[in-house]
Chain A
Amino acid sequence: MAPSTLFLSILVLAVAAYVIGRKRSYSVVGGARKLRELHSRPTYYGMLTALGCGIPALLILGIWQAFEETVITRLITAGLPENIRTLPESRLNLIINDVKNLVSGNIVSKEVDPAMQAAADHYTRLQSISHASMAVVCLVLGIMAIAIIRKIITPKLRARNAVETVTKIILVACSSIAIFTTLGIVLSVLFEAIRFFKAVAVTEFLFGLQWSPQMAIRADQVGSSGAFGAVPVFAGTLMISAIAMTVAVPVGLMSAIYLSEYATSKVRAAAKPLMEILAGIPTVVYGFFAALTVAPVIRDSGGLMGLDVSSESALAAGVVMGIMIIPFVSSLSDDVINAVPQVLRDGAYGLGATRSETIRNVVIPAALPGIVGSILLAVSRAIGETMIVVMAAGLAANLTANPLQTVTTVTVQIVTLLVGDQEFDSPKTLAAFALGLVLFVATLFLNIIALHVVRKYREQYE
């Protein structure tokens, strides 16, 4: 039986278990009229039986699937002729791969070696044995579970509590997935970054003013200096994000105030989704909008004023990125401003405050934590944004404060470091991890600072 069929059979078995358990609970108390004597409602006995039948069987199925391939491969390797078995590991892996290809019926161009064919047949045989035994084990386990639980169903069995415990465990498992993933990513970035810092000094990376990550692969290569001073890169990120926020925060906040305080409900119902569409446009579209429309306009108008504007400028990328993140600010701020209780506004109006006084002195302070939250979200979007900057801001790591110059950002550098054929242990590639780590630490600090600011200055209602 194929694993997918087995999976479906276990589910069907669990449904059957539910019905059996539920029926059993009725019969142990002697009919629907005596249900009050049961500890839990009949559905919980059904659920308990279904969970008892399904979960162990599915666990076995999962574990079996995870280890089946390794075990079979070991057995195959042991069965191969002596001369193949003693090959170095990389060669052996290739042969095993060939065997697997034979099994799955991938076309092999050359004549098939009889030893290989035998191994492939062996593989198929082992796999079918494994699948059959897996099916037997799982189904027997399921059926046994049904039988056992059916036996132990008594009016006193605390089925609801048991089911709720299992549910809680499942919920905990799901929420820990996110946490462990984050932890895993952070650790892997950290370890790779440490490898990088073995090749390049931390101080050089953090304080160096020269970014030119081309390394010489062979000793006789020229023109590849390999300078890893990340300051220009971070300065570029900082500048572009700052430009983006200068555009997005005022525009977003003011449109949020208009939508929530001044617009009629009809206008709001129409305008809000329209603004949110901005957030749904793929960033690559913004990218060519920035590169092909905004950047030339900025360059031409700069030229008219006698300024020297490069065709890929931080200003173009920043402005377009700012437009992209307007809905993050406006939509979330609009929601939190709306959530400020009407009685607070009434209180201010009742004192003779005008609408704008009410908004400035009462509504905005009360909504401040949410507004800061929305701005933070926008900042992290701006820092992490890649596509627009790749297309509109350029690759040259200039250390400049002039927004009309080409700059580059951390994300763009990570992309260029990792694109193409790379050695995975050269400082050039590992630099990407170091950049990522610093970026991560920077956003973390930003969050902590913002959290602190919000706690300190928030004016909490209720």
Chain B
Amino acid sequence: MNNEANQPAKRSNPGGLRVDRENRETVGEPFIEDPRMTCRNVDVFYGDKHAIINVSLDIGKNEVISMIGPSGCGKSTFIRCLNRMNDTIDTCRVRGQIKLDGRDIYDESIDVVPLRAQVGMVFQKPNPFPKSIYQNVAYGPRIHGLAQSKEELDEIVETSLRKAGLWDEVKDRLDQPGTALSGGQQQRLCIARAIAVSPEIILMDEPCSALDPIATARIENLIDELRHNYTIAIVTHSMQQASRVSQRTAYFHLGDLIEIGPTEIIFTNPKHQLTEDYITGRFG
């Protein structure tokens, strides 16, 4: 699959005519100029199950790219490839090429530990460590040796909590357990924890699915602010969320990347029938 292959489909589809449902070629614009990460022909297998089928796309600098699609379509699996979180699953195999700033992250010379510090991750369920709020944020900088003194560490903790919009709520109780916070606060704590190791890219796997609408709105605002300093890839089940926070959207269906492009185009004028079905609620 490459850019040229997609062009005819795009041109033969000018006036609202959609690509047929049976077609699994990616339509839209998977590639951009000056990307941060490039993925080419990525396949993922869980044992015999082919979970991601030949996906190619780019992730740009300082953009929020959202992955949408019905449950089990492989969007979470895909973003877990981007910082090699899938390495922790015994049966999982990844094929293809994923480059970060031109370096293949699956190359033998790359260690996953600095990679994961560079490509941070926030998970679906808030998962603060059973430690104090301070220790939660300080844990990453400490293991990576980012702070040389207690003052530096304090500063990293404070900046991270400020960036995550949590500082004012917790500054007087940094020694209390992180698990005692509310769900939304816990998720912002997890974001602060991810920010603390100064990553360049943050992967978010359905970060708001366990939160109420108010907490969700706060996280969405936060994502919008973080965009100025970080590149963010977010998996979400909420199409409203995708349209609110992301600049580009990718629609996955049963392991195939069906359509990708600027968010407003995906949601207003999708080119693939499956995308149309999903965003109008006929499927999924």
Contacts and interface: CB of A to CB of B under 8 A. Distances in A.
Same complex origin of A and B = yes
Interface of A: 264-265, 341, 343-354, 357, 361-362, 365-366, 459-462
Given A357-B143, A460-B130, A460-B179, A352 B125 contact: no
B127 interface: yes
A350 B120 contact: yes
Contact of A344 (B88, B113, B121, B127): B127
Residue among A350, A352, A361 with the highest chain B CB neighbour number at 10 A: A350
Contacts of A459: 129-131, 177
B5 to A, nearest CB: 35
Interface string B128-158: 1111000000011001100000000000000
Contacts of B121: 346, 350
B90 A351 contact: no
Contacts of B120: 350-351
Contacts of B179: 460-462
Contacts of B113: 352-354
B127 A343 contact: yes
A352 B116 CA distance: 5
27 contacts: A343-B125, A343-B127, A344-B127, A344-B130, A346-B88, A346-B121, A346-B123, A347-B129, A348-B129, A348-B139, A350-B123, A350-B194, A351-B120, A351-B197, A352-B116, A352-B117, A352-B140, A353-B139, A353-B143, A354-B113, A354-B143, A362-B129, A365-B130, A365-B131, A366-B129, A459-B129, A460-B177
The 10 A-B residue pairs with the shortest CB-CB distance, nearest first, are A459-B130, A352-B117, A350-B121, A352-B116, A343-B127, A351-B140, A347-B127, A461-B130, A352-B113, A366-B130
A361 B116 contact: no
B123 A343 contact: yes
Interface residues of B, number: 31
Interface in B19-74: none
Secondary structure at chain A's binding surface: helix, strand, loop or mixed? helix
B92 interface: no
Contacts of A350: 83, 85, 116, 120-123, 194
A163 B278 CA distance: 53
A353 B83 CA distance: 13
Residue among A344, A352, A362, A365 with the highest chain B CB neighbour number at 10 A: A352
A345 B123 CA distance: 11
Contacts of A353: 113, 139-140, 143
A361 B140 CA distance: 11
Given A365-B131, A459-B131, A460-B177, A347 B114 contact: no
Contacts of A361: 129, 139, 143
A351 B116 contact: yes
Contacts of A352: 112-118, 140, 143-144, 197
B89 to A, nearest CB: 10
B190 interface: yes
Interface string B261-279: 0000000000000000000
Given A350-B85, A462-B179, 5 more contacts: A346-B121, A350-B122, A350-B194, A351-B193, A353-B143
Contacts of B122: 350
